[in-house]
Copies of this chain bind each other. A is one copy, B any other.
Amino acid sequence: MQSFEELSAAFAARFKTRHFPLYPDSLYDPAEYFLGLGGKRIRPVLCLMGNELFGPIEDDAWEMATALELFHNFTLIHDDIMDKAPLRRGQPTVHAKYGSSTAILAGDVMMVVSYEYIGKVRSPHIRKLLQLFNQTAMKVCEGQQLDMDFESRAVVSMDDYLKMIELKTSVLLAGCLRIGALLGGAGLGNQDIIYDFGRNLGLAFQVQDDYLDCYGDASKFGKQVGGDILADKKTFLLIKTLEVADAAQRREIGVLKNAPPDEKVAGMLGIFKACGVGSWALELKHQYHAAALQRLDDIAVTSKRKEPLRHVVELLLQREH
């Protein structure tokens, strides 16, 4: 059994190769550029760990892990266009550097290359793997569409927001784990449980992410405190606040919308505090965290084999400030 750190290093070493042809460089250099920006490679490592939970890592798991990481990067390239994001990991996004048309195509071709890695799979399960990959991919696209839809909606219910987060973030983590588990020889029951483990892990992580934006230590978190507030982003905190705020607080939120940045952040944080959504969010995160650990317990393999995944949970969910 290998730790997250070991598998992460092993994957990074393998992934650090050219994934695209040389010609036409006007298409493939932008794709390579984006991969070169790095990333934590969490998804492929979850695929490998899902495999190793049940058996020795198969060659096919490396192909699927690569496909999943490329798919994730394809979504980032296209999301950045839709979000008009100028930077990703501190560097220009593909559309900012090469134009939107090339960014659309570089994303497209990255998706095709992710399927090329699936085409290398030797397992007789290739059909099932392709189906799981496709189902996951569709849900991720649905999540991105809902996220865009919600931006222009005045009111988003907690249920709708949860559904969107699940589609946009959780199902890919869950899908990676399930695909790995299938390759490791897990039965359908265990596959379902590890999928649900990943789903809860993803939800806990997203609640934490929303929480840290308001309550995080900027120096540790690496982002500006209140960034979501300034961007008028719908988050767990804002949606809960809009559910519980009284009339006066709602009016204040309306006024704060157009307030100067510092005032806006301070004002909204004050309302969040008055509504108690900070501690509510921590409690919600703890619920998903506990559910994830429960699902991990439910998987029918020895506890010892689960150590690396338990460590991943702690790694991803430890931060509360």
Interface residues of A (CB under 8 A from B): 21, 23-24, 26-27, 78, 81-82, 100-102, 104-105, 107-109, 111-113, 115-116, 118-119, 121, 126-127, 130-131, 133-134, 137-138, 141-142, 144-146, 148-149
- Shortest CB distance A178–B (Å): 15
Contacts of A81 in B (CB 8 A): 101, 104
Given A118-B130, A127-B119, A130-B118, A144-B113 contact (CB < 8 Å): no
- Report whether over half of chain A's contact residues are helix, strand or loop; otherwise say mixed: helix
Which listed residue (B23, B82, B112, B146) contacts A104, Cβ 8 A? Answer: B82
B145 in contact with A27 (CB, 8 Å): yes
B134 in contact with A130 (CB, 8 Å): no
Contacts of A27 in B (CB 8 A): 141-142, 145
B112 in contact with A149 (CB, 8 Å): no
Contacts of A116 in B (CB 8 A): 131, 134, 138
Residue of chain B at shortest CB distance from A146: B24
Residue of chain B at shortest CB distance from A126: B127
Given A112-B134, A127-B119, A145-B104 contact (CB < 8 Å): no
Sample (23) of A-B pairs whose CB atoms are under 8 Å apart: A23-B142, A24-B142, A24-B145, A24-B149, A27-B141, A27-B142, A27-B145, A78-B104, A78-B108, A102-B145, A104-B104, A105-B145, A109-B138, A111-B112, A112-B134, A112-B137, A112-B138, A115-B115, A115-B133, A115-B137, A116-B131, A116-B134, A130-B130
A121 in contact with B112 (CB, 8 Å): no
Contacts of A100 in B (CB 8 A): 82, 100
Residue of chain B at shortest CB distance from A83: B101
A119 in contact with B104 (CB, 8 Å): no
Which listed residue (B101, B119, B144) contacts A148, Cβ 8 A? Answer: B101
- Shortest CB distance A192–B (Å): 19
Contacts of A107 in B (CB 8 A): 108
Contacts of A104 in B (CB 8 A): 78, 81-82, 104
Contacts of A26 in B (CB 8 A): 145-146, 149
Contacts of A133 in B (CB 8 A): 115
Known: A24-B145, A105-B148, A116-B138. 8 other contacts (CB 8 A): A26-B146, A82-B100, A107-B108, A111-B112, A112-B134, A115-B130, A116-B131, A126-B127
A127 in contact with B121 (CB, 8 Å): yes
Contacts of A142 in B (CB 8 A): 23-24, 27, 109
- Shortest CB distance A149–B (Å): 5
Contacts of A126 in B (CB 8 A): 126-127, 130
B149 in contact with A105 (CB, 8 Å): no
B149 in contact with A134 (CB, 8 Å): no
B138 in contact with A105 (CB, 8 Å): no
B119 in contact with A138 (CB, 8 Å): no
- Shortest CB distance A61–B (Å): 17
A121 to B127, CA, bound (A): 8
